[in-house]
Structure 1
Amino acid sequence: RARQGDVPLLAEHFGRRMAIELEWPNWPGFTSRALAELEAYPWPGNVRELRNVIERAVYRHEDPEREVDLIIFDPFHSPWAPASAGTPTAGTPVIGDADEPPHAPASLPGSVATSDLRAAVSDYERQLLEEALRKNRFNQRATAAALNLSYDQLRHALKRHKLQDSAA
């Protein structure tokens, strides 16, 4: 990072290109907070890393009329990882409410007495999917982000649990 001023210029360039690719009517730009996050990041990779972060931020942004404000530097970071794995990036979506820790499980029956582990896990996964869909107003991209899944992984899980019609 020899040239500090290049990050905002490159971010705008990559953002505009992605907006054109997504056929947005115009490019809204980034919020000042998002630009500050981009400039503060150490960028251990090269320009390709910056491009990937920007393209991901624009692709995940839902309202082309508002400025892009959510920057996720590490899409593979899990909010459920042990503390030694690092701290979550700013804006990492979580399923739970603000008062609830991100690792808190959805409510389970008092005593889980089952001889069929696969069925119990499947039921629990379905509960998580239904709850996340409701909390994200059935927006599949937001739900996938909240569950730390790719969009395709979420669609596969919805199909497996026959929830694709309720999520459409």
Structure 2
Amino acid sequence: MCREIGLPLFPGFSAEARETLLHYRWPGNIRELKNVVERSVYRHGTSDYPLDEIIIDPFRRHTTQPQAPETKPMSVGLPLDLREFQQQQEKDFLQTSLQQAKFNQKKAAELLGLTYHQLRALLKKHQI
């Protein structure tokens, strides 16, 4: 399987990924297991570290979104340039999400509810 996608070796599963595989019921039996592992290895795409994300159903959206911390309304002096303010807020959110995800862009994208490619485009836009 790794040879087919150009990986020199399979890095193994993280503990969390193993737990996901072990606790899923596998109604589709071995074919479903094979498809899930292939999809996860393909999307992981590296031999540098263990596979940490198992994608059981690629079409299902996460139903439990992390709760955002309660924030107090900020007071902003008027007049202000709304576009510039929005751009700065967007940049701040990007930097905060990267810090919380320990600069793992895939995880930062998940924190913001974006795809990896959407996050990359915003990072490029803000020159981060």
User: Could you state the TM-score of these two structures normalised by the residue count of structure 2?
Assistant: 0.60
Cα gap change, 1:123 to 1:71, in 2 (>3 Å) = same
Counterpart position of 1:11? none
The answer to whether 1:77 aligns with 2:56 is no
Report the counterpart of residue 51 of structure 2 in structure 1.
Answer: 68
> What is the deviation of 1:110?
3.1
- Report the RMSD for the aligned CA atoms in angstroms: 3.9
1:45-56 superposed matches below 5 A: 47=31, 51=35, 54-56=38-40
> Using a 3 Å threshold, how does the CA distance of structure 1 residues 104 and 29 change in structure 2: closer, same or farther?
same
- Which deviations, in whole Å up to 9, do the C-alpha atoms of 1:56-99 show, x marking residues without a partner? 4652376x24432332445631653xxxxxxxxxxxxx6xxxxx
- For the 8 Å contact 1:144–1:154, the answer to whether it is kept is yes
Higher relative contact order (CA 8 A, sep 6+): 2
Tell me the residue number matched to 2:74: 110
> Which blocks of at least 5 consecutive residues in structure 1 are unaligned?
1-16, 81-93, 95-101
Look up the SS of the partner of 1:51 in the other structure: helix
Q: How many residues align?
A: 124
On the 8 A contact 2:94/2:123 being kept in 1, the answer is: yes
Per-residue deviation, 1:52: 5.0
Q: Which residue matches 2:106?
A: 141
Match of 1:155 in 2: 120
1:95-150 CA-to-partner distances (Å, cap 9, x unmatched) read xxxxxxx4126x77731455665544332221110112234444433432333322
Q: Which amino acid aligns with 2:74?
A: G
- Cα gap change, 1:150 to 1:49, in 2 (>3 Å): farther
Q: Is the 8 A contact 1:57 1:70 kept in 2?
A: no
Per the alignment, do residues 34 and 141 of structure 1 end up closer, same or farther by CA in structure 2, a change over 3 Å counting? closer
Gaps spanning 5+ residues in structure 2: where? none
Structure 1 residues 158, 66: closer, same or farther in 2, change over 3 A?
closer
TM-score (norm 1): 0.50
User: What percentage of aligned pairs have identical amino acids?
Assistant: 32
